[in-house]
Amino acid sequence: MSTADQAGTSMRSVSGSSSAEPTRSMSRPSDTSSSAAASRPSAPAAQQAPARSSGRRVRLTVSRVDPWSAMKMSFLLSVALGIAGVVMVAVLWMILAGMGVFDQVNGLVGQIIQDGENTFDIMDFLGFGRVVSLAIVVGVIDVILMTALATLAAFLYNVSSSLVGGLQLTLTDD
């Protein structure tokens, strides 16, 4: 039985009605029967389903997470986060350079060290290229680790859900 069949079955059983819900066929009737159906009066109100005052409540269980799907999704999300991190570091560096923070740090360290022949320049350590390169390396490591951890988490969830039954959700149609 597919997941859609299980969800449909549980939706009917939880909805509160003991009889099966009416279904409509998606096929078109032939031309001769359509004119006969149009001339018939509508069904009496007693045969129609009673109106529900509140939305349906459906109780579903997440019994398995496909590890391949978890790996693909975590890879895409971690790549997006890695790109966002590199852009964030570059923008932050430009804002700090524009505010003159690096010049103030150079002046402060120069006052503390007070070495006349060797000047301290923070840009030797925190240049734009070096900072962005480090952010890219951290982003690549982050992509690898997040993808591996999400895949491992999917495997662990499948093992634990086979033991305890999975995560149960109650969805409402309000």
Cβ-contact 59, 170 below 8 angstroms: yes
Which tens digit of pLDDT belongs to each residue from 73-123?
999 999 999 999 999 999 999 999 999 998 898 888 888 887 667 777 888
Which tens digit of pLDDT belongs to each residue from 34-44?
444 445 555 55
Cβ-contact 62, 167 below 8 angstroms: yes
In single-letter form, the type of residue at position 41 comes to P
What was the pLDDT predicted at 65?
Answer: 94
Q: For the whole model, what pTM was predicted?
A: 0.61
DSSP state of 46: G
